[in-house]
Amino acid sequence: MAASFVEEPEAGPRSKRVAILAAAVDCFGETGFEATKWSTVAERVGIGQTALYHYFESKTHCLLTIMRLELQRSHDKFTEATAGVAEPADALRSAVRAAYDVSDQEVLQMRILHNHMDLLSGARKSKREEAERVAARQLVQVVERDWTNLLVRGMSQGAFPLRDAQLLGASVLGLIVSVWRWYRPSGPTPLSEISDLIEDACVRIVAM
């Protein structure tokens, strides 16, 4: 699969970081994080296992980085989808559609993220792992805030009934991300059909 990660500024032109992340996503998505050997990731990239440690000090460090980058991507997609959309209901629909406007690689990234959210709850002993964990937790809060603020805007404009916006936002977001636990690109239902179903369900939930 083609890499969907953007190289970060500190990486040089010969950096293998993006290739390692993409290979790790494939491996974690195919066989699971626990079952994936760190050496297998190195083999897919075509480098020695010791070279991995130039970029990531552990398999967990790589996983946390994938999670942080996926959260940032989700936030960026939400921001792009809702920017300049005046009607809150239209913005809600646009945000839901954007959540499902993804590649097969990004489906794996989201499955990995939501299967390992518990990893963000406890501090890590490694400084580099902890830095990624803290950054990912902060992004979780940003994503939750995005959806809550969208609903608050709709309520303040009279487009949505007055409700507990934080609880409602968590419910809508929970419904959206639940798809990644069971959806498979090779399955019988196309993602576009699932997107339409969840979009309508979210609008109904918010309008109740």
Long-range contacts (CB closer than 8 Å, 24 or more residues apart) made by 16-22: 16/45, 16/47, 16/51, 16/55, 17/55, 19/45, 20/45, 20/52, 20/55, 20/56, 20/62, 21/62, 21/65, 21/66, 21/69, 22/105
Q: pTM for the whole thing?
A: 0.90
Domains, the chain, in order of start with CATH, read: 10-55 (1.10.10.60), 60-207 (1.10.357.10)
User: What is the pLDDT tens value at each position of the chain, 208 positions in all?
Assistant: 444 555 454 455 578 999 999 999 999 998 999 999 999 999 999 999 899 999 999 999 999 999 999 999 999 999 999 999 999 999 999 999 999 999 999 999 999 999 999 999 999 999 999 999 999 999 999 999 999 999 999 999 999 999 999 999 999 999 999 999 999 999 999 999 999 999 999 999 999 8
Q: What is the pLDDT of residues 26-54, one digit of tens each?
A: 999 989 999 999 999 999 999 998 999 99
Coil, helix or strand for 201? helix
* 168 neighbors 149 (Cβ within 8 angstroms): no
Q: What is the pLDDT of residues 84-113, one digit of tens each?
A: 999 999 999 999 999 999 999 999 999 999
